[in-house]
Amino acid sequence: MIQNERDLRHEQVLSVARQMMTAARTAPKGKGIDVVEIAMVTGDDLQTLSDAMRQISEETGMKFFLRDADNVLQAECVIIIGTREQPQGLNCGHCGFPTCGARPAGVPCALNTVDVGIAVGSACATAADHRVDTRVMFSAGLAAQRLGMLPEGSKMVLAIPVSASSKNPFFDRKPKEGK
């Protein structure tokens, strides 16, 4: 039997993406409390995500959402990682307020934010180990958050489009006109 890489590529990328999700799950968490949410966007949902990014660009005038929306359509899948809001009760002041109780509603717990960053870093390191291309996108994360692609209440969502092609589609991107 002869198997051509082009015929296997999509499943290979999805396999790596699943490993990225595992790496994000097993990444260290503040106080050992897991508040991280992770999902993979594939198929028709990539178009839904891209369309939501275009809508945000229209609302905000931020043209980089358009460029990133094109990139989402060039990806085999997109990993989304966010957090449930859960203060860790350290009263550390890292969020800018002296205690967890003094932190106003809507201000994220700094440890939750750090947990998302560490999870994203672990996922991207796994992708690099398998030589697939990625880029961390705030824009696609915001669109995924608005679409409710993670469980209700998930915040600080970041997205990682994943691709394996002869040229990284997430590098040397041409900016759209405007912001």
- Which CATH number covers residue 10? 3.40.109.10
Average model confidence (pLDDT) for the chain?
Answer: 94
Q: Which has the minimum average pLDDT: 16-20, 121-125, 163-167?
A: 163-167
Higher pLDDT, 122 or 153: 122
Span 129-135, mean pLDDT? 97
Q: Could you list the residue range(s) of the whole structural domain that residue 117 is in?
A: 5-163
d(CA 97, CA 68): 34
SS3 106: coil
For residue 175, pLDDT beyond 80? no
Span 46-67, mean pLDDT? 97
Q: How confident is the model over 76-122, as pLDDT tens digits?
A: 999 999 999 888 889 999 999 999 999 998 888 999 999 999 999 99
Record the tokens describing residue 177, joined without a space: 């006109």
The answer to whether position 132 is within a domain reads: yes
The answer to whether position 30 is within a domain reads: yes
In 3D space, the residue among 51, 28, 56, 54 whose CA is nearest the CA of residue 41 turns out to be 51
The answer to whether position 110 is within a domain reads: yes
Of the chain, the percentage scoring pLDDT greater than 70 comes to 97
pLDDT (0 to 100) of residue 86: 87
The pTM of the full predicted model, rounded to 2 decimals, is 0.92
For residue 16, pLDDT beyond 80? yes
Number of Cβ within 10 Å of residue 101's Cβ equals 9
How many distinct structural domains can be found in the chain?
A: 1
Span 24-32, mean pLDDT? 94
Q: Taking the mean position of all CA atoms in its chain, how far away is CA 13?
A: 16
The answer to whether position 29 is within a domain reads: yes
The answer to whether position 93 is within a domain reads: yes
The answer to whether position 179 is within a domain reads: no
What phi, psi does 46 have (nearest 5°)?
A: -65, -40
pLDDT (0 to 100) of residue 164: 95
pLDDT (0 to 100) of residue 172: 76
